[in-house]
Chain A
Amino acid sequence: MNMTAWMKKGWSWLRTHMDPRLFMMLMAIVVGIFGGLAAVLLHHMIEMVAGLFSGYRQRAWSFLLPAMGAAAAVYFMEKIVREGGGHGVPEVIYAVSRHGGLIRLRSTFSRIFASSMTIGSGGSAGPEAPVVMSGAAIGSNIGRILGLNERQRVVLVGCGAASAIGSIFNAPVAGMVFTMEVLLGQWRSSHLLPITLAAVTGTQLSRRLHGNQIPFESAIFGIQMHDTLASAGLALITAVVAIGLIRGMRRMHGLSLFLASRCHLSPWTRAGIGGLFVGMIGIFFPVVLGEGYYAVREMIAGEFSSGIIFVLVILLAKMLATTFTLGWGGIGGIFAPSLVMGAMAGLLYHRILVFLFPAVGWVNEGCFALLGMAGLLAGVLQAPLTAIFLIFEITGGYEVVLPLMVVSAFSTILCRYGEPHSIYLKDLVARDELLRPGTDGRVLLDLRISEVMEKDCIPVQRNMLLRNFIHLLKNSRRNYFPVEDAATGRFVGMVHLDDVRPYLLDQMLYDTVLMEQLMHRNVMVVHPDDELGDILETMDRLGLFSMPVVADHRFMGMISKATLLDHYRKELRVQTSDE
């Protein structure tokens, strides 16, 4: 027996003898390692690209760097890996909700390289969404290679994303919460344990390779009651900024697509133009370039010395730079810019408070910068728990947890008034592609027409006499009879038992009435490619209880509401069980 055969045998033994939960935990560790490595690689890549460009930052033409980076990133995505743009999180959510977490192999690395070019050259974007995509793709492809089923693959997709987020932020809890809250949209203990383990593995690996660094060190603030109450007001500001950012991104994307189609611009030229605008903004406000974390550190430390108007202007400039980077097709995420803008919003709010109420002993402005970060993130992602745990973990301070909860919760609620869906879900919802497990659409998606179709209908020919039909009726349990053309076999109509009833008692008609005289010709039919959701909608609209399935003019079977409901219940049970 050769090595491959031994390995196959060992694998098969492991699959059959190992407890499934324990097996998933083992797989979670494997995915966690690769997810963590992807995050570390991205981190190094960004540093490397930034280092490469740093020598040219003082040159007169340095404003062209973001354009070059964005164009190169999109060229890489379009021509080298042939994947297309976008930050990838909606793609992961789509894969989880519709295709059991199937993601292309190339996604495991593509966005790591592309986003490092965008961010390293000065584009206003973050590395988190691309690394989520990479981690999720790693999980998906490990699941595929190992031949896991759909449910297990989805868990591994979550494991990959959680480990990547945990690793890049050094925040395992935030990674786990983000995955459950944003990506999977459900909290199940069967998912929670492997995802937690993957997040821990990824983070631990990153700590080993990178050191255990807290991204934003916070001081002891000494928060009082009035600070906590005031944080509710900050939620209003962060909600407004979040709504502005979501809408700005969408409008800018629409504008860029419109101009690109009018001027026949290639995707990389489009991204390059966006990058050019970012470079020009960067001439006046260098703080908007790149991730912008160094500015956040200054704000948290209370060392950001600009005045109210200047903070407002750089907040708007950062928003504009982000919409130009991502809205024009640059590769990167919205996470980091949201944190930066949130910190700016917090700072702005603190300065307004101090200006309006100078006699009150307000907490240090760094605390409000932290709260602003949580508020904006909660609003943009519509994920308050992710925001709370992320800020809590990346600052290493438990002290701010109360106002953090207030601002995150209020910001999420207020943001929903303006934008009912998060930046990740907005597009999916608009395309009607978001299907969370256990929802009506998701249950129907897993049912196939061929599964629910009843095939025991007896077709009759259009020239069949009523006498023959009555004879056939004795052996049938159905009320519907498809009528076919004898010569071509084509479906021509339907006969319902009710149509025959008036003729049953008159034996004189038995040898004179033909089926084509009784049949309904304009019958609403279903095609095997139709979606069950649409079929049910048609049935409800027309008050039908069953419909014939016809393909290539041939009768295939019947679909009835009763059978559909039966299958629906079974599927719902499968989807909502925690096994």
Chain B
Amino acid sequence: MNPRFFHVYQDTPAGREALLQTVFFCRMLGAAPVVYIPETPRFLMYFENRVVQVDLDCDPSDLKKRARWQARASEILAGSGLDAHFLQIHHRTTPELPDVPVDFDYMSCPVPASARHFVYSDLGMRRLPAVAPFSVLIPALVARGWKSLAVFYGGDEKKEGVLAAGLAMARNTGLPLDVFTRGPVPVIRSASFKAHVRHVVAGNKGNDFWMDVPPEALMIVGASGKGWFRERFFSTFKKELRSSLPGTCVFVGPQAQESYMRIWERETDS
């Protein structure tokens, strides 16, 4: 079965750009897009041990508007040669609160246009990767295709999962991979993985480190799922990256990293 990519479509210029990035991603990885046209300004995703609420910027208030949104999304997908599969909601926690299934391989996080809420503005971006078994694509403001992948590896054994994710994606897409590390240079034993690594850049914090990242790279970043307080008030690598580089990111949370690690270990053993 092809990997499935879950996308929440919002009929705004930013929403269109986000869908275009999903299209690029799906074509790159051979994933099947599953598009959700929201009915309410929020929805819930029930994971194994946590429920996450995703808040949206806007939602179509009536059926006519929804049909229009759906037609526009279909048009964008068809223009790229992808089948449009729209998600039907089967269950709702309350009539105004749909439950969206979570058995996907990737998801595009609907990023709010501006931080309008002190507490909840970037909750989706923080919590989704932290608890989801899938990787989360954070779209950039403007869509453009990627010519390489850049993975940010912390140099720690515990964080090898993100490296494994980058290597797996590089192998599946055939794109060259640049590994950026602030720690020791990783040892990649599997030949099938190693072949895709173009550069390994070891550096420190600062502008030079970010300047080495190719401008047309899809960035793969680990997401630790640290608490709200820490993310809000302290400097984190994720925040630094988001403020330094405007490109598209894929956040790979702990659970998704685990599954990539299994692939990595299998490959390394063989």
Q: Which residues of A contact B (CB under 8 A)?
A: 82-84, 86, 90-91, 94-95, 98-99, 102-104, 106, 144, 147, 427, 431, 433, 528-529, 531, 551-552, 554, 556
Interface residues of B in 80-96 (CB under 8 A from A): 90-96
Among B1, B44, B93, the residue within 8 A (CB) of A551 is B1
A83 and B117 alpha carbons, distance in the complex (Å): 14
- Nearest first, the 4 closest Cβ-Cβ pairs linking A and B are A102-B51, A99-B46, A552-B2, A551-B1
A147 and B120 alpha carbons, distance in the complex (Å): 24
Given contacts A529-B101, A552-B2, A554-B1, A84 and B49 within 8 Å (CB-CB): no
CB contacts (< 8 Å) of A95 on chain B: these are: 93
A99 and B48 alpha carbons, distance in the complex (Å): 9
CB contacts (< 8 Å) of A144 on chain B: these are: 49-50
In the complex, which residue of chain B has the Cβ closest to the Cβ of A94? B93
What's the nearest-Cβ distance from chain A to residue B234, in Å? 17
Task: Beyond A104-B44, A431-B95, list 16 extra A-B contacts (CB 8 Å).
Answer: A82-B42, A82-B55, A83-B53, A84-B42, A84-B94, A84-B97, A98-B91, A102-B46, A102-B50, A104-B53, A106-B53, A144-B50, A427-B95, A528-B103, A529-B103, A551-B1
Among A84, A103, A147, A552, the residue within 8 A (CB) of B96 is A84
In the complex, which residue of chain A has the Cβ closest to the Cβ of B117? A82
A287 and B49 alpha carbons, distance in the complex (Å): 45
CB contacts (< 8 Å) of B32 on chain A: these are: 552
In this complex, the member of B95, B96, B103 whose beta carbon has the largest number of chain A beta carbons within 10 angstroms is B95
Interface residues of B in 50-109 (CB under 8 A from A): 50-51, 53, 55, 90-97, 101, 103
CB contacts (< 8 Å) of B55 on chain A: these are: 82
CB contacts (< 8 Å) of A91 on chain B: these are: 93-94
CB contacts (< 8 Å) of A529 on chain B: these are: 101, 103
Among A90, A102, A528, the residue within 8 A (CB) of B94 is A90
A104 and B32 alpha carbons, distance in the complex (Å): 30
Q: What are 14 A-B contacts defined by CB distance under 8 Å?
A: A82-B42, A83-B53, A84-B42, A94-B93, A94-B94, A102-B46, A104-B44, A147-B49, A431-B95, A433-B91, A528-B1, A528-B103, A552-B2, A552-B32
In the complex, which residue of chain B has the Cβ closest to the Cβ of A106? B53
What's the nearest-Cβ distance from chain B to residue A543, in Å? 25
CB contacts (< 8 Å) of A531 on chain B: these are: 90
Among A90, A104, A427, A554, the residue within 8 A (CB) of B51 is A104
CB contacts (< 8 Å) of A147 on chain B: these are: 49
Number of B positions contacting A (CB below 8 A)? 23
CB contacts (< 8 Å) of B42 on chain A: these are: 82, 84
A332 and B65 alpha carbons, distance in the complex (Å): 33
Given contacts A102-B46, A552-B1, A86 and B94 within 8 Å (CB-CB): yes
In the complex, which residue of chain A has the Cβ closest to the Cβ of B30? A552
Interface residues of B in 226-247 (CB under 8 A from A): none
B1-29 CB contact bits vs A (8 Å, 1 = yes)?
A: 11000000000000000000000000000
Q: Is the CB of B120 within 8 A of A431?
A: no
A99 and B99 alpha carbons, distance in the complex (Å): 11
What's the nearest-Cβ distance from chain A to residue B158, in Å? 14
What's the nearest-Cβ distance from chain A to residue B35, in Å? 14
What's the nearest-Cβ distance from chain A to residue B100, in Å? 11
In the complex, which residue of chain A has the Cβ closest to the Cβ of B44? A104
What's the nearest-Cβ distance from chain A to residue B202, in Å? 29
In the complex, which residue of chain B has the Cβ closest to the Cβ of A79? B117
CB contacts (< 8 Å) of A554 on chain B: these are: 1-2
CB contacts (< 8 Å) of B2 on chain A: these are: 551-552, 554
A90 and B96 alpha carbons, distance in the complex (Å): 13
In this complex, the member of A104, A427, A554, A556 whose beta carbon has the largest number of chain B beta carbons within 10 angstroms is A104
CB contacts (< 8 Å) of A427 on chain B: these are: 95
What's the nearest-Cβ distance from chain B to residue A309, in Å? 39
Q: Is the CB of B51 within 8 A of A99?
A: yes
A86 and B94 alpha carbons, distance in the complex (Å): 9
In the complex, which residue of chain B has the Cβ closest to the Cβ of A551? B1
CB contacts (< 8 Å) of A528 on chain B: these are: 1, 103
In the complex, which residue of chain A has the Cβ closest to the Cβ of B51? A102
CB contacts (< 8 Å) of A433 on chain B: these are: 91-92
A433 and B93 alpha carbons, distance in the complex (Å): 9
Q: Is the CB of B101 within 8 A of A82?
A: no
What's the nearest-Cβ distance from chain A to residue B235, in Å? 21
A433 and B120 alpha carbons, distance in the complex (Å): 28
CB contacts (< 8 Å) of B93 on chain A: these are: 91, 94-95
What's the nearest-Cβ distance from chain A to residue B216, in Å? 29
Q: Is the CB of B94 within 8 A of A82?
A: no
A104 and B51 alpha carbons, distance in the complex (Å): 6
What's the nearest-Cβ distance from chain A to residue B44, in Å? 8
A324 and B136 alpha carbons, distance in the complex (Å): 43
CB contacts (< 8 Å) of B97 on chain A: these are: 84
A99 and B42 alpha carbons, distance in the complex (Å): 18
Q: Is the CB of B51 within 8 A of A103?
A: yes
Among B1, B46, B51, B101, the residue within 8 A (CB) of A556 is B1
What's the nearest-Cβ distance from chain A to residue B50, in Å? 6
A553 and B98 alpha carbons, distance in the complex (Å): 27
Q: Is the CB of A82 within 8 A of B120?
A: yes
In the complex, which residue of chain B has the Cβ closest to the Cβ of A427? B95
A91 and B94 alpha carbons, distance in the complex (Å): 7
CB contacts (< 8 Å) of B51 on chain A: these are: 99, 102-104
A91 and B51 alpha carbons, distance in the complex (Å): 13
CB contacts (< 8 Å) of B49 on chain A: these are: 102, 144, 147
CB contacts (< 8 Å) of B46 on chain A: these are: 99, 102
CB contacts (< 8 Å) of B90 on chain A: these are: 531
What's the nearest-Cβ distance from chain A to residue B104, in Å? 10
A91 and B92 alpha carbons, distance in the complex (Å): 10
A82 and B96 alpha carbons, distance in the complex (Å): 12
What's the nearest-Cβ distance from chain B to residue A474, in Å? 29
A98 and B46 alpha carbons, distance in the complex (Å): 10
What's the nearest-Cβ distance from chain A to residue B42, in Å? 6
In the complex, which residue of chain A has the Cβ closest to the Cβ of B123? A82
